[in-house]
Chain A
Amino acid sequence: MKKDLLVISFIILFVVVTFRGTKIQSVDEYYLTHIDDIMPNSKTVTLSIVCDTILDNYDRLDPQLKSDKYVPSDGIILPPTKYVLREQDTVYNILDRAVRHNKIQMEHQAPHLNSYGSVYIQGINYLYEFSCGPLSGWMYRVNGIFPNYGCSKYELKDGDVIEWLYTCDLGRDVDCQWLGIRESTSICLGGDFN
């Protein structure tokens, strides 16, 4: 019986450690985020989330997503909005704060789960990668330029303009500029497509 007690106490210890390591929040708690007020001297960035390319490829969209709820009729999920920039904020931090503030659904892949060591945005507003054909997914550009790396590695500075764009054609339909120069599609999305 002594052995049994030992085993049971080990199991209890394991369960306790697991539960201590998980953070359980209710829906209201999660969306309750603090957005800094914009002061005259505060640093700000502008963020917008647009999926208007889907409107041109509506027939390729998954049938269960064909609704105004998921694809707004003008294709704008979040119009250009100013957010206060905190110290060492990356594109991902701003996006996370913005979607929480506006209660927009967003799913991401944590940095340790992919080989790029950066957060990968799988879906925003229920529009996921591959939801609109095999070449679709979310991309971001800052000041009109598509960076060649993940969104949690891009540190922002005052006045940056961030756009999250949904592409249905590996970035070609959202003017991914350096795509033509490098002639390689894989770098644009940060995924291994060729």
Chain B
Amino acid sequence: MNAFSSYHPEVLMLYFVTVVTLSMLSMNPIFLAIALFGAMCYFASLEGIKKFLTSICFYFPMFILIAVTNPLFSHNGETILFFLNDNPVTFEAIIYGMAIALLIIAVMYWFKCYNNVMTTDKFVYLFGRVIPKLSLILSMALRFTPLFKEQIKKISKAQKTMGLYSSKSISDKVMGGMRVFSALLTWSLENAIDTADSMRARGYGLPGRTSFSLFTFAKRDFIMLSGIIITLIAVLIDIPKGFSYYPVISAIDMRFSYFALAVLMFIPFLTEVKENLKWKYLISKI
């Protein structure tokens, strides 16, 4: 499942920058829904349905939490549902909260895909020459969350093998989690020093060193790049402006840019699907 990620890093970088910026550009609900849906489909095709469903278990409560929190602080809006401590809770504020939640979750899903696709070597290949130090820091920082996740699994497995916190009680599990977290914290500090030492030992940053990478800009990369740019321009010339939620939610109008955006957001998913079908077809011929 890496049809899209096999494209040239420049194409991929441009794509992710475009997609994340577009997701944050407009508060139009259709815009946000398309962005989120595209990200979810791509994430599911990258990591598999099972991982996707577990991620939903985390993001759905977060969606609800943001949607419920906004009306507690924002009381603008014409459709009053009820009054909470003399402050109106309005329909518009809830919808606005949902829109913010959509935006945040869409961007988070795109970054999850980014983390999967743009590996460190691709990032350093792109920016290693231009901004060597910053690119190193960025690639290390972006690697942190997945790295910590892996390490948490390892630590908790080790704890369980030692027979600690294997009871079914929830509060015991929470305490065990705290213990794992403190172990992780110590490990991360040690790991940072280790990494630095190891890099120095291998002569990172010394003059005259080159790095090898096998990325060639092929014809299909050019086609993909021009496809991205054309759809991006199509979205930008007709971008919906001035969608407001207060005091009444403005009407949703049909626009050409929705289709262009849908094409742009679903490029990676469709590439995966196309490659998958091709594979199935070729296998069936054997």
Contact = CB atoms under 8 A, between A and B. Distances in A.
Interface stretch (A24-32, A53-61, A140-148, A153-161): A24-32
Contact of A22 (B76, B85, B170, B172): B85
A159 to B, nearest CB: 29
Contacts of A4: 169-171
Contacts of B80: 27
Nearest to A1: B169
A48 B88 CA distance: 23
A3 B171 contact: yes
Interface in A1-56: 1, 3-4, 6-7, 22-27, 29-30
Interface string B170-188: 1110000000000000000
B169 A30 contact: no
Contact of A126 (B76, B83, B86): B76
A65 B76 contact: no
A89 B21 CA distance: 52
A127 to B, nearest CB: 9
A180 interface: no
Contacts of B250: 64
Nearest to A62: B244
A26 B82 contact: yes
A107 B76 contact: yes
Interface residues of A, number: 23
Nearest to B243: A64
A23 B247 contact: no
B82 A64 contact: no
B86 A30 contact: yes
A70 interface: yes
A126 B85 CA distance: 20
A65 B77 CA distance: 12
A27 B89 CA distance: 10
B78 interface: yes
B76 A3 contact: no
A3 B172 CA distance: 8
A143 to B, nearest CB: 29
Contact of B247 (A6, A22, A30, A126): A126
A24 B169 contact: no
B85 A23 contact: yes
Contacts of A6: 171
B246 interface: yes
Interface of A: 1, 3-4, 6-7, 22-27, 29-30, 62-65, 70, 105, 107, 123, 126, 128
